[in-house]
């Protein structure tokens, strides 16, 4: 199932919400995001969401978390 993450900022508080494709389309059609503009690229926006105003960014994908792998190298000299 495709996942979409909506990142927004309001009054200095950043919010991330997860949607399915269908739920996101319904939210857009129901004007859930009001007059917010959609950010298509960070090229013209600061990475700090406090400078986005009421604009929102939608990212498609999965949340990933690195898993530690224990690796031991052992040397022997003859």
Determine contact, residues 55/37, Cβ cutoff 8 Å: yes
Task: Examine residue 10 and state whether it is found in any structural domain, yes or no.
Answer: yes
Q: Which domain holds residue 31?
A: 3-60
Residue 45 has a pLDDT of: 76
Task: Examine residue 36 and state whether it is found in any structural domain, yes or no.
Answer: yes
- Work out the angle at residue 70's Cα, subtended by the Cα atoms of residues 67 and 75, and round it to the nearest 5 degrees: 155
Q: Please tell me what DSSP assigns to residue 37.
A: P
Q: In total, how many domains does the chain have?
A: 1
Sheet with strand 38-39: strands edge to edge:
13-20, 3-10, 56-60, 38-39
On the question of pLDDT at 72 being above 90, the answer is no
For 8-38, b/e burial (b = at least 16 CB within 10 A) is: bbeeeeeeeeebeeeebeeeeeeeebeebee
Q: pLDDT tens digits, residue range 2-41?
A: 999 999 988 888 999 999 999 999 999 999 999 888 988 8
Task: Examine residue 71 and state whether it is found in any structural domain, yes or no.
Answer: no
Task: Examine residue 20 and state whether it is found in any structural domain, yes or no.
Answer: yes
Residue 19 has a pLDDT of: 98
Task: Examine residue 69 and state whether it is found in any structural domain, yes or no.
Answer: no
Task: Examine residue 55 and state whether it is found in any structural domain, yes or no.
Answer: yes
Q: pLDDT tens digits, residue range 36-55?
A: 889 888 777 788 888 888 88
């Amino acid at each position: 199932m495709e996942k979409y993450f909506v990142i927004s900022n309001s009054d200095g508080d950043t919010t991330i919400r997860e949607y399915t494709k269908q739920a996101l389309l319904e939210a857009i059609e129901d004007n859930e995001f009001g007059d917010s503009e959609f950010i298509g690229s960070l090229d013209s926006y600061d990475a700090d969401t406090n400078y986005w105003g009421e604009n929102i960014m939608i990212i498609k994908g999965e949340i990933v978390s690195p898993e530690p792998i224990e690796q031991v190298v052992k040397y022997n000299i003859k």
